[in-house]
Amino acid sequence: MTPIFPGSEDAAGQRATLGVMGGGQLGRMFVHAAQRLGYFTAVLEPDVQSPAGQVSHYHIQTDYNDPAGLAQLAHLCQAITTEFENVPAQALQTLALTRPVAPGAAVVGIAQNRIEEKAHFAACANLSGVTCAPYAVIETRAQLQAVQADRADLLPGILKTARMGYDGKGQVRVKTAVQLAAAWAELGGAACVLEKLLPLTAECSVLVARGWDGRVVSFAPQRNVHVDGILAVTHAYEGNMPPALATSARDAAVSIAQHLGYVGVLCVEFFVVDDGSAHGGLVVNEMAPRPHNSGHYTLDACDVSQFDLQVHAMAGLPLPQPRQHSPAIMLNLLGEVWFNANGQPQEPDWSTVLGLPGTHLHLYGKLQARAGRKMGHLTITGPDVASVKTVARRAAGLLGLPGLNET
**Which CATH fold would you assign to the domain 134-196?**
Dna Ligase; domain 1 (3.30.1490)
The answer to whether 86 is annotated as binding is no
Over the stretch 208-240, which tens digit does the pLDDT of each residue have?
999 999 999 999 999 999 998 899 999 999 999
Phi, psi (rounded to 5 degrees) for 162: -70, -30
Q: State residue 407's pLDDT score.
A: 43
Closest C-alpha among 313, 324, 209, 348 to residue 268? 209
- When pLDDT is cut at 50, 70 and 90, the band that residue 276 belongs to is low
The answer to whether 195 is annotated as binding is yes
- 23/30 Cα distance (integer angstroms): 10
Higher pLDDT, 149 or 66: 66
The answer to whether 169 is annotated as binding is yes
- Element holding 63 (H helix, E strand): none
pTM recorded for the entire structure: 0.93
The answer to whether 114 is annotated as binding is yes
The answer to whether 362 is annotated as binding is no
- 330/308 Cα distance (integer angstroms): 18
Q: With pLDDT > 70 as the criterion, what percentage of the chain qualifies?
A: 97
- 222/301 Cα distance (integer angstroms): 12
Whether residue 147 contacts residue 180, with contact meaning beta carbons closer than 8 Å, is answered with: yes
Mean pLDDT of all residues in 4-31: 92
Mean pLDDT of all residues in 52-60: 97
- Element holding 98 (H helix, E strand): none
CATH number for region 17-101: 3.40.50.20
Q: State residue 406's pLDDT score.
A: 53
**Which CATH fold would you assign to the domain 200-399?**
D-amino Acid Aminotransferase; Chain A, domain 1 (3.30.470)
Q: Where are the domains of the chain?
A: 17-101, 134-196, 200-399
The answer to whether 171 is annotated as binding is yes
Q: State residue 136's pLDDT score.
A: 95
The answer to whether 203 is annotated as binding is yes
Whether residue 78 contacts residue 17, with contact meaning beta carbons closer than 8 Å, is answered with: yes
Handedness of CA 189, 193, 197, 202 (dihedral sign): negative
The answer to whether 406 is annotated as binding is no
The answer to whether 167 is annotated as binding is yes
The answer to whether 198 is annotated as binding is yes
- 139/135 Cα distance (integer angstroms): 13
The answer to whether 285 is annotated as binding is yes
Q: For residue 325, with 0-12 CB atoms within 10 Å meaning exposed, 13-18 middle and 19 or more buried, which class applies? A: exposed
Mean pLDDT of all residues in 292-296: 97
Give the lowest-confidence range in 20-24, 43-47, 257-261, 354-358. 257-261
Over the stretch 134-182, which tens digit does the pLDDT of each residue have?
999 999 999 999 999 889 999 999 999 998 766 567 889 999 999 999 9
Q: What is the mean pLDDT of the chain?
A: 93
- When pLDDT is cut at 50, 70 and 90, the band that residue 290 belongs to is very high
Whether residue 176 contacts residue 197, with contact meaning beta carbons closer than 8 Å, is answered with: no
End-to-end CA distance of the chain: 47
Query: Looking at residue 65, what DSSP letter applies?
Result: T
The answer to whether 374 is annotated as binding is no
Higher pLDDT, 360 or 122: 360
The answer to whether 364 is annotated as binding is no
The answer to whether 170 is annotated as binding is yes
Mean pLDDT of all residues in 49-75: 97
C-alpha angle 402/344/48, rounded to 5°? 85
